[in-house]
Each structure stands twice: as structure tokens, then as C-alpha cells.
Amino acid sequence: MTLSTQICAITFTGNVSHGLQQDAFAINDDYYQETLGVTEVQTYPEEFCVAVADGVAASNKSQYVSKAIVKSIARQWQKSYKIDMSIIHTDINCLANKYIGASSTLALVYCSNTDSDTVFIKHVGDSRVYLWRKDKDIGNSNEENTHSQRSCWQALTYDHNLANQFIKEHAEQAGIAPEHDDFNPNGMASSLYVLTECFTVDDGLDESSVPSYDSQTLNIKAGDCLLVCSDGIHDLVPCVDWQDIDAKTDLQDWLENLRTQVYQSEGNAYDNGTAIVVRFG
């Protein structure tokens, strides 16, 4: 990457009834599952990798899956500067049988080419990646992912859940292409937000059980910012309510304000929350 990156993360347990921290995250070859608060802002001149995994609360063992996912990512990054989702699947299925059925989402962004300003985005489940860009247009390398914005946060990923599945099926039946803004309707946990894809510890390991995931690339420009987060952030505070961000913004203060918004929301931080902001300059 010809641009430098500044990276800062925040993670908190919130007011979850089970008291567990089931989120985990990775920055390059380090991974975490502690209630760290806000990390120091780190500058990376070349390659970078950030990931957020969110253990699905249906199991009280899902935190082991989310941690295994970010551990796999950190190890892959250290070895090859590339992330293979099938390797993640293999790694989590090395967990003991007592973890069968436990699951986790994942949102991942990385750049492994020092001569390119293109980032790779991969995700499964309802952890998301957002972009802030001052320009009017966001141009993905995939034309079907190109959409417009006016200096606001914009989701780049679509959740793998029933709500979005119904939207897609309805559009197909009507013979129309769904609009970008049709996806990811705002709202807190309900039956419509049941996941259709996630990483799960299976009782039998084979390629067919690797979850379906979305992958895209994005050409980055100076001044762009990305946010990778769990649903404990975006479910409670929609991106339209997030603060603006620019080259002078204190990233730690920005993330601490976002955490305050989560606790002051109608949902009162009912879930774990994790967010990583990446600023390009």
C-alpha cells in the first residue's frame, strides 16, 4: 500500500446478560479477546490486516470460536500476508467436540500489496465493514457494488440474515435489481435477523460446510476511513448517527464517543461491542 494507515480499536463487554465477552479482534499478527477499552493509535506504512469476529450468543461457548478465528487470521497474516477462509474453517474445527454447534461471524479487511491501494474485504454473518469518503462516489472494482454517498458512513457489506435474504428473493421474483440501500434495514435483534451464514464448529469436517462468504475489493484514496465492527455497534447506533471523521480527528476520542452512544442507545449496550477504525493518509 502506498498510503499509510492509522489503526485504533475499541472493545467492551456491554450489559450482556451472560456476562461473557464473545467478540474478538485481530490487528496484523496480534489478536485479542479482552475488555481492553481503547487501544493506542498505531501507524502502519505498508501492509495491514484487521478483523472482528463475534461469537453468536446462542451458545455460551461461541467465544472460543471467535477467538480461534482471529488466532487463525493472525497466524496466516504472519506467514503469508493472505487470508484463506477455508483455513479458518479448518482451524476452528480443531476445537474439542464440546464446542460443536458454537459459531461466530467475521468481517475482515486487509492489504497485502505494498504497490497497490486496493484492499480486500471478506465477511460472513452480520459483522460489517463501513466506509467514510468525502467524495460523492464510492467505486468498487466490482461494478455491481458501486454506489453513491454524500460524505457519510456507508455500509459496504450485506448481513447474511433472513431480512436480507427476503429482500433479495423479493427482488428476484419481481425481476428487478435490489438497491444498495434496501439491504441492512435498521433495527435491534429480532427473528428477521437470524443468521443464514456463519462459521460453525461441525461434527464432521468437509469443504461443503465452509460458510458462504462475500468477498470484494475497494480502491482506497487518501482521506478514506474504514470501520470494521460487530453488530453490538451497528444494531444499536445506526451509521447515520456516527460522527464525521477526517485527518484531524482523534481516533481514540471518536471510538470512545461511539461507545457512549451505544450505552445511551435504546438498547443500552445489550451486546458486546467491538470496532476498529482504519484511516488512510
Query: Domains (ranges, CATH) in the chain?
Result: 5-159+193-280 (3.60.40.10)
Q: How confident is the model at residue 35 (pLDDT cuts 50, 70, 90)?
A: confident
Provide the 8-state DSSP code for 25: E
Q: What is the pLDDT of residues 61-88, one digit of tens each?
A: 999 999 999 999 999 999 999 999 999 9
Q: Are 11 and 25 in contact (CB under 8 A)?
A: yes
- Per-residue exposure over 236-247, b if at least 16 CB sit within 10 Å of its own CB, e if not: bbebeebeebee
Alpha helices in the chain (DSSP H): 62-80, 85-92, 162-174, 231-234, 251-264
Spatial separation of the C-alpha atoms in residues 281 and 220, rounded to whole Å:
10
Q: What is the pLDDT of residues 129-187, one digit of tens each?
A: 999 998 655 554 443 344 444 568 999 999 998 876 766 666 667 777 666 666 666 66
Q: What is the dihedral of CA 176, 181, 186, 192, to 10 degrees?
A: 20
Q: How confident is the model at residue 39 (pLDDT cuts 50, 70, 90)?
A: very high
Q: What per-residue confidence (pLDDT) applies to 125?
A: 96
- Quote the radius of gyration of the chain (alpha carbons, Å): 18
